[in-house]
Structure 1
Amino acid sequence: MTKIENCRETVKNWVNSHPKVADFVIASTIFTLILISNYIFGPNRGWRARNARITAFYFSILIPVATLLFLRRKKSLFLAIAFWTLLSVACYTALSWLWGGRFLAGWTSKEPLIFKELLSTTLAAVGGIGAVGYLVIKYREQASTEREELHQNEGEADKKLNSAVQQLGSNSPQVRIAGVYALADVADTYEGPYHQRVVDILCGYLRTDRLLKDANGDTRYATNEDGSPNYSLPISADNPVESTILSVLASHLRSSTTAEAKHQSRGPWSICTLDIHGAHITEYVNFDYAQIGEIDAHGTQLTQGASFTQTKFTNRASFDNSTFTQIANFWKSKFENEVSFRGTTFKQVAFFAENSFKQEVDFSEASFTQEVNFRGTQFLRTTDFRHASFKEKTDFSAVSFTQTPRLFEAIFSKLITFEDATFMQTADFRNTTFKGRTIFINCTFQGKTKFTATTFHQDASFQNASFMLTTDFGGVSFIHSVNFSECTFKNAVEFTSSNFSGDAIFEDTTFMLDAKFTAASFANQPSFEKARFNFSLKGAHRIIFPEQVNLNNNSLPPGAEWSGSQI
C-alpha cells in the first residue's frame, strides 16, 4: 500500500470514528470561509470579477465537503444538505456572472438595505436552504427504498439461481433442460451481473465431461465403416441439454430480429465472456449473426461443425489448439480485437472469406486438412502463419495484408492462389514450401518481398505482379516452370543461387533497378523477350547473369532491351 493510500485510510477511519467532530469542523470552516469571502470581495470590486472569484471560492469549499461525504460510511444528512446548498449558491453565482445584470450579479449593494429588505432576503435564503434540505431528505428516502428493493430482488434472484443450478445437476435430461431455461430467465429478469453469472454457469457445464463411457470408464466413439473407432467423434450422453445451452447462448448473443434481418446485432449477453476452453462440443454450433465479447475456446473439440457467419468478435478470441472435426465457417466475420488459432486443427473445409481482422491474428502451427478459403479477407495488423500446413487447395485471392504477414516455413501441399492480393508491407515467405501449383498473378507487393530459400514443387506464376521495394528470390528452387511475364520490379531484385529446373519466363518484364542472377542455374535458356532493363545501369555490374545464359551484343539475353532510367 502506498503512502497516499495509507493517508487516505487514516483520514477515512478518523472521519468515521468521529462523525460529529467532522461535521462541526466542516460547518465551522464553511461559515468562516463565507465571512472571509464577504470581507475580501467587497462592493468596491467589479461585479463580474467579484462573482468569478466567489464562484471559484464556493467550488473550492465543495471539495472538502464532497470528500467527507465520500469518506463517510454512513452518509451525513447535514453534509449532504450543505453540499447541495453550496452547489446551488455557486451555480447561481456562476450563472449571474455569465447572464445577469447588476441586479442578479451582486451579492452586495452600494446602497444600504432597509430592515424590510434584509428580512425578506434572509427569509428567502432560509426558505431556499429549507427547500434544498427537503429535496435531499426525499431523495435519500427514495434511494433507501430503492436499495431495499434491490436487496430483496437480489435475494429472490439468488434463490432462483440456486434452484436452477440444482435442476442443471439433475440426472434427468428433461429437468436439466428446464434448468437451462430457468437460468436464462434469471438473467433476463434481473440483468446486470446476472448475465455474466449465468453465462459462466452454462459455459462451465459445457466444460464438464459428459461423454459416454464404457464399462471400463473409457470414452466411447462412433465407428468407421470398417467397424474401427473414429476417435474424432466421441459419443455424448448429453446431446439434448448441450444443444439447448448452445441455442440459448446464441439467441442471447444477437438481437431477436438479427436472424431475420441477417446482420450483426448486439444481444443482452454480447458483453459477457464465454469460457468454453477444453470443452467437447458434440452438437452443431450455430452462432451466425451474433456479437460475441471475449471468448476463450482453447483446446475445445467441436465434432459436428461450427458456423460463425457474419459474427462480430468485439474482444479477444482464442481458439488455440482447438479441433474443428467438421466444417468451420467464419464467412464475413469481423474480429475487432486479437484472435488466435495457434495450433488449431481444421479437419474439414475452413471458410474465412471476406473476413476483417482488425488486430493481430495468429494461425501459426495451424493444420488445414481440407480446403481453406481466405478470399477477400482484410488483415489490418500483423498476421502469423508460421509453420502452418495447408494440405488441400488454399485460396488467398484478393486478400489485403496491411501489416507484415509471416508465412515463412509454412507448407502448402496443393494449389495455392494469392491472385490480386495486396501486401502493404514486407511479404515474408522465407523457407516456405509450395508443393502444389502456386499463383501470385496481379499481386501488388508494396513493401519488401522475401522468398529466400523457398521451394516451388509445381508451376509458379507471378504474371503481372508489381514489386515496389527490394525483392529477394535468393536460393529459391523452381522445380517446374515459373512465369514472371509482365512483372514490374521497381527496385532491386535478386535471384542469387536460385535454381530454375523448368522454364523461366520473364517476357515483357520491367527491371527498373538492379537485377542480379548471380550463380543462378537454368535447366533451359530463360525467355526475356521484350524485357526492359535500366540503361543507366549498363556496365555498372548491377545487371548480372550467370555464364550459362546466352547474351546478345548488348550484354542482355536475346529479346531483351535497354530502356531509359525512367521506364
Structure 2
Amino acid sequence: MLLYWFVAEVLLGLPLQVDAKAEAGQQAAQRKFLADLVKIALGLAAGIGAVIALVATYRKTRIEEYASHRDDHRLFSERYQNAAELLGHAKPAVRLAGVYAMARLADDWDEQQQQCIDVLCAYLRLPANENDPGDGEVRDTVIRLVAAHLQPDAEPSWQGRKFDFTDVTFDHGANFSWAVFSGQTYFGNAKFAGPADFRGAKFAGNAHFRDAKFAGYAYFLRAEFAGPADFRDAKFAGDAHFPDAEFAGYAHFAGAKFAGDAHFPDAEFARDAHFAGAKFAGYARFKGVKFAGPADFPDAEFARPADFPGAKFAYAYFQRAEFAGNAHFQRAEFAGDADFRGVKFAGDSDFLGAKFTGPADFPGAEFAGDAHFPGAKFAGDAHFQRAEFAGNAHFPDAEFAGPADFPDALFAGPAQFKSAKFARRADFAGAEFARRADFAGAEFARRADFGGAEFAGRYARMWVTVTSGGSLDLSEVKLGRERTSEDTEQPARRSVVSLRHATLADPASIAASVAEAANGCVLILPGGTRAPDPMPNT
C-alpha cells in the first residue's frame, strides 16, 4: 500500500499520507480520476468512429459524384456530338435544329459553354452558301441567339465569354443593341451588309473592329468601351453614329474612312483618341466632345464641314490636316498643346471664343477662306509664323496673354485686330498686309514689333494703345505697294497709315521711324499730324 501511494505521489503529485482517513480520501479521488479517464477514452473512441464513418461517407459521396459527373459528361459529350453533326448537315432545316441544340447545350453546360459558343461563331465564319436560300436564316438565327444571351437581363447569360466574329459576313446586318460583351470581342475584317446596331452596347474587354466594313448605318449611340476600341482602317460606307459614346480605353480610328457622315457629338474619350490619316468624306460632327487624353488628327482629311464647337481637348494634334469644307471650333477649349502646324483650311475656319490654355501652334497654316478668331483667348504662346491668310483674318477682341508670333505671316485679305489685347511680345516683323489692316483699339503691354512689315493695302489703321513698359517698332516698314495675290502685283499706289488716335509712350521716335520709311505715302501721326506728304485726314 505504501508503495502504491508513493507511485501516486510521484505520478500524480499527491502528497504521501499514511493515516487511514487520508488514505480513504485519496482512494475516492483516484477512483473518480480513473472514471474520468474511462469517459474520455470512450469519447475518443466514439469520435474516432464518427470520423471514420464521415470519411467513409465522404468517400462514398465523392465516388457517387464522380460517377454522376462522368455520366453527365458523357451525356453532354453525346449532345455536343449530335449538335455538331446537325450543324454540318446539308439541309438548312437540320442545321437550324443544330443551332438551337448547341445553344441549349451552352445554357446547360457551363464548364464547356465557351466551346459551344466557339462552334456557333465558327459556323458564322464559314463562307455563306449563296445557292442555299435557307442558309441565311440559319446564320441570322445564330446572330439573334448570341445577341439575346448578351442582354443585361438574359438568363441564362453568355456574358463574360469570348466572341470571335473575325471575317464574318453579316448579310442582313446585326442587332447587338444593349448587348454586354464582358470578354474579348473580335469583329476584325467583319462585313456588315446591312445596318450594324450597337446602341447602348457595353464592351468590358478589348473591342476589335479593325478593317471592319460597314455597308449600311453603324449605330454606336451611348456605347461604352471599357477597354481599347480598335477601329483602325475601318470603312463606313453609311453614316457612323457615336453620339454620347464613352471610350475609357484607347480609341483607334487611324486610317478609318467615313464615306457618310461621322457623328461623335458629346462623346467622351478618357484616353488617347487616334484619328491619324482618317478620311471624312461627309460631315464630321464632334460637337461637345471631351478628349481627356491626346486627340490625334494628323494628316486627317475633312472633305465637308468639320464641327468641333464646344469640344474640350486635353491635347489637340492636327498637323497637316486638310479641311476642304468649313472648320468650326467655336468656344472649343484647348487645355494643352493645340498643334495646327501646316494645316490647310480651304473653307472658312471659325475659332470664335475658343480658349487656348497651352501653346497654340499655327505655323505655316494656310487659311484659304475667312479665319475667324473673335474673342479667342490665348493663355500660352500663339504661333502664326509664316501662316497665310487668303481671306479675311478676324482677331477682334482676341486676348493674347503669352507671346503672339506672326512674323512673315501673309495677310492677303483684310486683317482685323480691333480691340485685341497683347499682354506679352507681339511679333509682326516681316508680315505682309496686302489689304486693309485694322488695329484700332488694340493694346500692347510689351514690345509690338512691326519691323520690316509691309503695308501694301490702301489703308492701315494703327490706332493702338501702347501702355507703360511697352513699345511699338515700325522701323523699316514697307508702304505703298498693293498686292492682289502672292505672285501678282499692281502698280504702286498711295497708302495711308494712320496712328491718329494711337496712344504711344514715345510718339516722337515712332514718328521719325515711320516717316523715314513712308516713301511718299500718307502717314497720319498721333494727334492728326501728317507726314511727309499732306493729304486729307483719314
- Displacement of 1:387 in angstroms is 1.5
Cα pair 1:206 1:279 within 8 Å, conserved: no
**CA 1:250 to 1:133, structure 2 compared with 1: closer, same or farther past 3 Å?**
same
Q: Partner amino acid for 1:386?
A: P
How do 1:204-353 and structure 2 match up within 5 A?
Answer: 204-210=122-128, 212=130, 239-256=136-153, 267=180, 270-292=181-203, 293-353=205-265
- Displacement of 1:447 in angstroms is 1.2
Cα pair 1:250 1:287 within 8 Å, conserved: no
Q: Distance in 2 between matches of 1:382 and 1:468?
A: 19
Q: Distance in 2 between matches of 1:135 and 1:371?
A: 75
Cα pair 1:531 1:560 within 8 Å, conserved: no
**CA 1:148 to 1:310, structure 2 compared with 1: closer, same or farther past 3 Å?**
farther
Q: Which residue of 2 aligns with 1:17?
A: none
Q: Distance in 2 between matches of 1:202 and 1:300?
A: 20
Cα pair 1:207 1:276 within 8 Å, conserved: no
Cα pair 1:532 1:560 within 8 Å, conserved: no
- Displacement of 1:119 in angstroms is 7.5
Residue among 421, 440, 447 paired with 2:351: 440
**CA 1:552 to 1:158, structure 2 compared with 1: closer, same or farther past 3 Å?**
same
Q: Partner amino acid for 2:432?
A: S
Q: Distance in 2 between matches of 1:526 and 1:120?
A: 114
**CA 1:239 to 1:485, structure 2 compared with 1: closer, same or farther past 3 Å?**
farther
- Displacement of 1:344 in angstroms is 1.5
Q: Distance in 2 between matches of 1:366 and 1:431?
A: 17
Residue among 379, 385, 388 paired with 1:477: 388
CA deviations on 1:27-77 (whole Å, 9 max, x unpaired) are xxxxxxxxxxxxxxxxxxxxxxxxxxxxxxxxxxxxxxxxxxxxxxxxxxx
Q: Partner amino acid for 1:313?
A: F
- The structure that has the greater radius of gyration is 2
3-state SS in 1 of match to 2:293: coil
**CA 1:243 to 1:120, structure 2 compared with 1: closer, same or farther past 3 Å?**
same
How do 1:57-76 and structure 2 match up within 5 A?
Answer: none
3-state SS in 2 of match to 1:254: coil
Instruction: Find out whether 1:547 has 2:453 as its counterpart.
Output: yes
Q: Which residue of 2 aligns with 1:74?
A: none
Relative to its length, the structure with more helix (as a share) is: 1
**CA 1:303 to 1:531, structure 2 compared with 1: closer, same or farther past 3 Å?**
same
Q: Which residue of 2 aligns with 1:187?
A: 106
Residue among 317, 326, 329 paired with 1:418: 329
- Displacement of 1:247 in angstroms is 3.2
Q: Which residue of 1 aligns with 2:444?
A: 533
- Unmatched tracts of structure 2, length 5 or more: 1-31, 155-176, 467-471, 474-497, 506-538
3-state SS in 2 of match to 1:401: strand
Q: Which residue of 1 aligns with 2:269?
A: 357
Residue among 416, 421, 425 paired with 1:514: 425
Q: Which residue of 2 aligns with 1:372?
A: 284
Q: Which residue of 2 aligns with 1:261?
A: none
* Comparing 132-141 and 285-294, the one that deviates more: 132-141
- Residue identity (%): 27
Cα pair 1:200 1:275 within 8 Å, conserved: no
* Comparing 488-497 and 203-212, the one that deviates more: 203-212
- Displacement of 1:250 in angstroms is 3.2
**CA 1:208 to 1:182, structure 2 compared with 1: closer, same or farther past 3 Å?**
same
3-state SS in 1 of match to 2:438: coil
How do 1:117-156 and structure 2 match up within 5 A?
Answer: 149=68, 152-156=71-75
Q: Distance in 2 between matches of 1:418 and 1:401?
A: 11
Cα pair 2:234 2:256 within 8 Å, conserved: yes
Q: Distance in 2 between matches of 1:372 and 1:439?
A: 15
CA deviations on 1:420-469 (whole Å, 9 max, x unpaired) are 21111101111111112211112111111111211111112112121111
Residue among 291, 294, 297 paired with 1:382: 294
Q: Distance in 2 between matches of 1:394 and 1:118?
A: 94
Aligned positions, number? 416
Q: Which residue of 1 aligns with 2:409?
A: 498
- Displacement of 1:505 in angstroms is 1.5
- Displacement of 1:393 in angstroms is 1.8
CA deviations on 1:111-161 (whole Å, 9 max, x unpaired) are xx9777777788878888887887787677666765665555455445444
Q: Distance in 1 between matches of 2:404 and 2:210?
A: 42
Q: Distance in 2 between matches of 1:140 and 1:443?
A: 76
- Unmatched tracts of structure 1, length 5 or more: 1-112, 214-235, 258-263
- Displacement of 1:497 in angstroms is 1.6
**CA 1:295 to 1:470, structure 2 compared with 1: closer, same or farther past 3 Å?**
same
Q: Which residue of 2 aligns with 1:431?
A: 342
Q: Partner amino acid for 2:107?
A: D
3-state SS in 1 of match to 2:147: helix
Relative to its length, the structure with more strand (as a share) is: 2
Q: Distance in 1 between matches of 2:294 and 2:54?
A: 57
CA deviations on 1:509-557 (whole Å, 9 max, x unpaired) are 11111111121111113211221111xx25xxx5445433455696487
**CA 1:208 to 1:396, structure 2 compared with 1: closer, same or farther past 3 Å?**
farther
- Displacement of 1:283 in angstroms is 2.8
- Displacement of 1:494 in angstroms is 0.6
CA deviations on 1:228-267 (whole Å, 9 max, x unpaired) are xxxxxxxx9964444434433433333149xxxxxx9674
- Displacement of 1:382 in angstroms is 2.0
Q: Partner amino acid for 2:212?
A: T
- Displacement of 1:331 in angstroms is 1.8
**CA 1:134 to 1:176, structure 2 compared with 1: closer, same or farther past 3 Å?**
same
